[in-house]
Structure 1
């Protein structure tokens, strides 16, 4: 399922604005200027996996702290990219200002505060935390990316294109672009850290994921084939994956499950669960159902109506 939507606020921030922001980003406490009607607008596009929101609003402070995390424990990470104005962010023990020309990726399943003193406009990209962390060398790291050039510029261009083309996209296409946007964000952050020695390993891990993603339906796919396709030894690839805290088996399983979830969410796809399992590289229905339930907390049969 893929949807687009919009909302405009002209009342107190505690009314429709807070509830709509919470629906999109996770439970939030919003504080605008006392006594003022809150002027803000939201335009979004979303699939069951990803969400992109372009927003503009008057001065406010948005808090997602222990009470909000307990009430709405969704595990997501969020890219914040200001177009106009300055964002002040507190997350993971860091305080930072983010200005136009920069993007920052923040874990939203950790206490987070985002504030701006004047009118601000930004684009947010919201992704499952598991997909972000599987690409990060350090879990829960706050990533900062310069979007004025290099891979950061490519990531920013991709994010802008998603917003511009929101009415013409479908769910599988939107998810495919978002998967690649995550790769660009992580690689862009690694490239911006000139002192990093882990960037080559991160690039290799991202390349492994892309290769597996493109061949996830091949039930015989294994680490040796992936390594050969990339021109590296299997031992070198396994070492890079170990540094990232994962294994080839986990990468192949996760990419197959991500593909299966996207297929089950597609209202135009009516194949049986056994056929979905085969299309996504699982040798048996039982193996697929067990892995899917472990990852997503429900069976494929339960997920299909829930995701559509």
Structure 2
């Protein structure tokens, strides 16, 4: 992790310092400064061999990457650009996108672009290797297209990026990469260009994400198909279609995960002090009787019988 600021050098040298500093970790670009007499900027940079996250603040500046620069200094990776304040304008592939807080975009460094940051803008820039997006998105990344990060899955992505920065002093490289992997996985689902609710590839992604979400939140008594769909940024119909393809429903999947959780705790010696009622509430069931009925239907024995059998074994 490193922090740099133009305050380190004389005002007349600051534009040169900034161009050189950004160029030390980004491929060749052009820089056009609105003011050259006393440019101000600062970066906080976290990086490993896989990912890089930079929080950047500066006076007004325009970055550009020409076709010649793309050829001479190739970089096929992407930058996830998330404004925190101000406005950023991105032009790429004959599209112009105006970004403000709560929005974001994916910019390809494998194609020419222009990026104008106003004097009040601060932003996160997450560098993502091309292989992490091109495969999952089938090379259909939404270049210079605005992503709504104000709610649902988009807000989860934005929050995770902010948390990566906030916890920068306490994360190992392995932990940083693990969280970044997760961000990219969620981003692929969110930014997939083919979001038709009946698209088979999309439904497979939805099913995978839903199963993981249910496993992580099964103990929440408020978990329903509707609340899950809202949090993940999909419609309830999309979630239902994804699970219908594999023979289940949101309600059945949630119940199955809760029963699995109870069974694991019944077999865990550290949970022997918990009563069946305790286990029911701790696993998302409304009552011990509701748990017992569902458990017997699923496993052929009551929770108490399974616990006793485990003690005798």
Please give the range of the TM-score, normalised by the shorter of the 2 chains: 0.5 to 0.7
1:266-281 counterparts in 2 under 5 A? none
- The equivalent position to 2:150 in structure 1, one of 122, 136, 148, is 148
2:88 corresponds to: 87
Corresponding position: 1:9 with 2:6: yes
1:166 corresponds to: 168
Which deviates more from structure 2 when the two are superposed, residues 67-76 or residues 164-173? 67-76
Greater Rg, structure 1 or structure 2?
2
Deviation of residue 141 (structure 1)?
Answer: 2.8
1:221 corresponds to: none
Corresponding position: 1:110 with 2:107: no
2:122 corresponds to: 121
- Compared with structure 1, are the counterparts of its residues 101 and 24 closer, same or farther at alpha carbon in structure 2 (3 Å cutoff)? same
Instruction: Give per-residue Cα distances to partners, 1:185-206, cap 9 Å, x unaligned.
Output: 122234xx89734766235248
- Aligned residue for 1:188, secondary structure, equals helix
Q: 1:135 touches 1:206 (CA, 8 Å); kept in 2?
A: no
1:98-247 counterparts in 2 under 5 A? 98-142=99-143, 143-190=145-192, 196-197=196-197, 201-202=201-202, 204-205=204-205
1:67 corresponds to: 68
- Aligned residue for 2:147, secondary structure, equals strand
- Compared with structure 1, are the counterparts of its residues 167 and 197 closer, same or farther at alpha carbon in structure 2 (3 Å cutoff)? same
Q: 2:197 touches 2:203 (CA, 8 Å); kept in 1?
A: no
Q: 1:145 touches 1:185 (CA, 8 Å); kept in 2?
A: no
User: Taking structure 1 as the reference length, what is the TM-score of the superposition?
Assistant: 0.61
- Compared with structure 1, are the counterparts of its residues 202 and 25 closer, same or farther at alpha carbon in structure 2 (3 Å cutoff)? farther
Task: Give, in whole Å, the separation in 2 of the partners of 1:7 and 1:159.
Answer: 20
Task: Give, in whole Å, the separation in 1 of the partners of 2:158 and 2:203.
Answer: 19
2:286 corresponds to: none
- Compared with structure 1, are the counterparts of its residues 57 and 46 closer, same or farther at alpha carbon in structure 2 (3 Å cutoff)? same
Q: 2:54 touches 2:125 (CA, 8 Å); kept in 1?
A: yes
Instruction: Give per-residue Cα distances to partners, 1:273-298, cap 9 Å, x unaligned.
Output: xxxxxxxxxxxxxxxxxxxxxxxxxx
Instruction: Give per-residue Cα distances to partners, 1:101-151, cap 9 Å, x unaligned.
Output: 101111111101100232210011111012111121453432532111110
1:44-59 counterparts in 2 under 5 A? 44-59=45-60
Deviation of residue 25 (structure 1)?
Answer: 3.1
2:273 corresponds to: none
Task: Give, in whole Å, the separation in 2 of the partners of 1:124 and 1:84.
Answer: 13
- Aligned residue for 1:100, secondary structure, equals coil
Instruction: Give per-residue Cα distances to partners, 1:163-202, cap 9 Å, x unaligned.
Output: 0111111222111111110111122234xx8973476623
- Aligned residue for 2:169, secondary structure, equals helix
Task: Give, in whole Å, the separation in 2 of the partners of 1:49 and 1:231.
Answer: 37
Consecutive unaligned residues in structure 1, runs of 5 or more: 212-229, 234-308
CA RMSD of aligned residues (A): 2.8
**Count of aligned positions:** 210
Q: 1:187 touches 1:203 (CA, 8 Å); kept in 2?
A: no
Task: Give, in whole Å, the separation in 2 of the partners of 1:55 and 1:203.
Answer: 37
Instruction: Give per-residue Cα distances to partners, 1:10-51, cap 9 Å, x unaligned.
Output: 444541111221233322211112432210000010011110
Task: Give, in whole Å, the separation in 2 of the partners of 1:129 and 1:58.
Answer: 29
Task: Give, in whole Å, the separation in 2 of the partners of 1:79 and 1:198.
Answer: 28
Which deviates more from structure 2 when the two are superposed, residues 65-74 or residues 38-47? 65-74
